[in-house]
Amino acid sequence: MAKMIVVYKHPANPEAFDEHYFGVHIPLAKKLPGLRMYEVSRGPIASPRGASDTYLVGTLHFDDMHAIQRAFASPEGEACALDVPKYARPEDVQMFLFDDRAV
Amino acid sequence: MAKMIVVYKHPANPEAFDEHYFGVHIPLAKKLPGLRMYEVSRGPIASPRGASDTYLVGTLHFDDMHAIQRAFASPEGEACALDVPKYARPEDVQMFLFDDRAV
């Protein structure tokens, strides 16, 4: 399996972020070809030292890295990429794409 | 479900990191009470803009945030926390703990 993990820092306007993320971005991303599952954090993101500056974590599951590459090369992938700057500043978004396996 | 995602930056000595992470840390962490699954990235971590400074991502699955809190309050959790500085500098580790759900 492969994952794309997207980590968002606290936005200046959480209401506007939520409205766009849940109302526009998730519906767009759910059209990505090859997407197997889309998970979104619920409630605050903690760190072992307590509160954190992270607001939301999205995890998109695909079969492998090739599937992720194909998804992002598709028109649906392009639409997703173009949508992110509409609700988050680039410096507030971290993305991690990788193959993984249970150990 | 709840996740603990641990993101490690590229270590100065990847061989030493791997030896400790796979040989010591994973066996310790697999003893955490309530752990449902432990996944580790395989190969390079990409970003949409290409290569990244991330070396490895570990994802630990629990039933909920309470289970994560119980795990970290346990002797096994303490052993895990004390082990991390033996193979990674604090500034090279990010941890995200949260409840999530499929959307």
Closest CA to A62 of A102, A4, A6: A4
Question: If you count DSSP H runs as helices and E runs as strands, how many of each does chain A have, helices first?
Answer: 4, 5
A98:B41 CB<8 A: yes
pLDDT digits (tens, 9 = 90+) for A30-40: 999 999 999 99
CB contacts under 8 A, B 23-52 vs A, are 26, 30, 37-48, 52
pLDDT value for A48: 78
Put simply, the answer to whether B57 touches A5 (Cβ < 8 Å) is yes
- Output DSSP code: residue A36: -
Instruction: Residue B46: name the closest of A54, A62, A45 by CA.
Output: A62
**Tell me, what's the pLDDT at B69?**
93
Query: What value of ipTM does the predicted structure carry?
Result: 0.92
**How high is the pLDDT of residue B51?**
77
Instruction: Please give the pLDDT value at position B49.
Output: 75
Reported as a single tens digit per residue, the pLDDT across A14-71 is 999 999 999 999 999 999 999 999 999 999 999 877 778 999 999 999 999 999 999 9
Tokens of B99: 């409840």
Per-residue model confidence (pLDDT) at position A51: 77
pLDDT confidence tier of residue A98, bands split at 50, 70 and 90:
very high
Helix ranges, B1-103 (H): 14-20, 26-29, 65-73, 75-83
Return the residue in B25, B42, B80 with the most chain A beta carbons within 10 A, the one to mutate for interface testing: B42
Note the pLDDT of residue B74. 97
Nearest CA to A57 out of A36, A37, A42 is that of A42
pLDDT (0 to 100) of residue A38: 98
Q: Please tell me which residue of chain A has the smallest CA distance to B52.
A: A96
Best CA proximity match to B100, nearest among B61, B48, B70: B61
Going by the DSSP 8-state scheme, the letter that residue A24 receives in this structure is I
Q: What is the mean pLDDT of residues B4-31?
A: 97
Per residue in B36-95, pLDDT tens?
A: 999 999 999 998 777 789 999 999 999 999 999 999 999 999 999 999 999 999 999 999
Buried/exposed code over A57-85 (b: 16+ C-beta within 10 A; e: otherwise): bbbbbbeebebbbbbbeeebbeebeebbe
pTM score of the predicted model: 0.94
For position A75, what pLDDT does the model report? 97
